[in-house]
């Protein structure tokens, strides 16, 4: 019954506590308005006239690396300032450049991490700025945040962002990047084989650092990792490998394969299996853990272990200079 129809002389028939609520006014009985969804665009947003350098880097990254979480973007481009990054991402989202989704965690309630990806207007901006060619727009990397493969995609980008930040600290220049889809699209000899997750190329005045990265899935059997190492070794013997990744001055040189594991225990288990099986190509395999890769310098800190050197840790630069 609306409060306006209640008469003062009839209050006695109601619970005495009702008098208190009446004194506070009718708003006490109005239902609370729900908060605006984080996935809804604000129609009164300030329009962005021009992208700054950081936002151009972000758009390029979203195009090539695929969806990134707010935490990843904050760590990579905003010096870990999560609130500032979230505010800027919200503005880009309101302007229609980005898509945002919530990452799904089964059984977890409440707010979930936001995942950002590039929409068509954002891709067109990259073309307008000359960052990508018009014909390359169809090669945008995209994966749904609700996909069962997204956690693996996220960990791969955690490793990639750590490598990009470490390269900046070490004075290295990024030269080339390929995810598994690009690697697969360029190969014929690798058909039917397990493809590594990343190919990365950095350069300084002395060395050209080129390598493949494989993100280990801890639930997979160790035999699958062995198949990947063996498949990579087989591919390294082909003419196509020499044309795409080889060194003309040293045709027998094989690029290192970096395997990033979830834990030290898993790392030791993989090494034991690869050594016991005598897998060809293990002399070019380096291993580390995701925690070490994301918290220490990818290139300069001694976080990498060679299968054939009693697991002595060394830096990636030290390994390359030998």
Q: Which residue has the higher pLDDT, 250 or 245?
A: 245
Place of tokens 């997750």: 197
Average pLDDT over residues 39-47: 82
Q: Chain-wide mean pLDDT for the chain?
A: 85
Classify residue 244 by burial, with Cβ atoms within 10 Å: 0-12, 13-18, 19+: middle
Residue 114, pLDDT > 90, answer: yes
Residue 17, pLDDT > 70, answer: no
Helices and strands in the chain, H and E counts: 12, 10
Say what the pLDDT of residue 69 is.
95
- Give the range among 55-59, 108-112, 154-158 with minimum mean pLDDT: 108-112
Q: Residue 114 and residue 67: Cα distance in Å, rounded?
A: 10
Q: Which residue has the higher pLDDT, 247 or 63?
A: 63
H or E segment to which residue 85 belongs: helix 82-94
DSSP assigned state of 34: P
- Which pairing describes strands 208-215 and 68-69: parallel, antiparallel, or unpaired? unpaired
Q: pLDDT tens digit string along 72-88?
A: 999 999 999 999 999 99
pLDDT-derived band of residue 58, with 50, 70 and 90 as boundaries? very high
pLDDT-derived band of residue 163, with 50, 70 and 90 as boundaries? very high
Residue 21, pLDDT > 60, answer: no
Place of tokens 């699209």: 185
DSSP assigned state of 31: P
Q: What does the CA dihedral 182, 80, 289, 170 come to, rounded to 10 degrees?
A: 80
Average pLDDT over residues 95-105: 90
pTM (predicted TM-score) = 0.83
- Where are any strands of DSSP class E within 38-118? 68-69, 98-102, 114-118
Q: What is the CA radius of gyration of the chain?
A: 27
% the chain with pLDDT above 70: 85
Take residue 260 and report the two structure tokens written for it. Answer: 């990033």
Q: Residue 30 and residue 181: Cα distance in Å, rounded?
A: 54
Q: Residue 310 and residue 294: Cα distance in Å, rounded?
A: 24
Q: Residue 210 and residue 217: Cα distance in Å, rounded?
A: 23
Judge whether 242 and 286 are in contact, CB under 8 Å: no
Q: pLDDT tens digit string along 207-218?
A: 889 999 999 988
Q: Residue 256 and residue 233: Cα distance in Å, rounded?
A: 10
């Amino acid at each position: 019954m609306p409060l306006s129809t209640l008469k003062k002389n009839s209050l006695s028939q109601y619970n005495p506590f009702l008098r208190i609520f009446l004194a506070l006014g009718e708003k006490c009985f109005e239902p609370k308005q729900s908060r605006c969804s984080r996935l809804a665009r604000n129609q009164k947003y300030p329009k962005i006239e021009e992208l700054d350098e950081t936002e151009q880097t972000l758009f390029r990254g979203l195009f090539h690396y695929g969806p990134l979480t707010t935490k990843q973007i904050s760590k990579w481009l905003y010096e870990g300032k999560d609130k500032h990054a979230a505010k800027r991402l919200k503005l880009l989202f309101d302007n229609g450049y980005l898509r945002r989704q919530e990452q799904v965690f089964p059984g977890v309630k409440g707010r979930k991490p936001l995942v950002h990806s590039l929409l068509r207007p954002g891709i067109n901006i990259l073309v307008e700025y000359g960052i990508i060619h018009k014909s390359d727009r169809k090669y945008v990397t995209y994966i749904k945040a609700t996909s069962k493969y997204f956690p693996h995609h996220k960990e791969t980008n955690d490793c990639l962002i750590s490598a990009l930040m470490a390269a900046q600290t070490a004075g290295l220049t990024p030269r080339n990047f390929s995810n598994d889809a690009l690697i697969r699209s360029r190969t014929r000899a690798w058909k039917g084989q397990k493809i590594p997750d990343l190919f990365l190329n950095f350069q300084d005045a002395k060395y050209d650092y080129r390598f493949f990265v494989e993100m280990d899935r801890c639930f997979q059997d160790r035999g699958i990792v062995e198949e990947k190492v063996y498949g990579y070794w087989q591919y390294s013997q082909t003419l196509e490998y020499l044309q795409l990744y080889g060194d003309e001055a040293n045709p027998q040189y094989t690029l290192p394969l970096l395997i990033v594991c979830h834990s030290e225990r898993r790392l030791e288990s993989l090494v034991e299996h690869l050594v016991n099986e005598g897998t060809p190509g293990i002399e070019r395999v380096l291993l580390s853990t995701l925690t070490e890769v994301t918290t220490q310098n990818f290139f300069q800190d001694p976080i990498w272990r060679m299968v054939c050197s009693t697991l002595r840790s060394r830096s990636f630069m030290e390994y390359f200079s030998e």
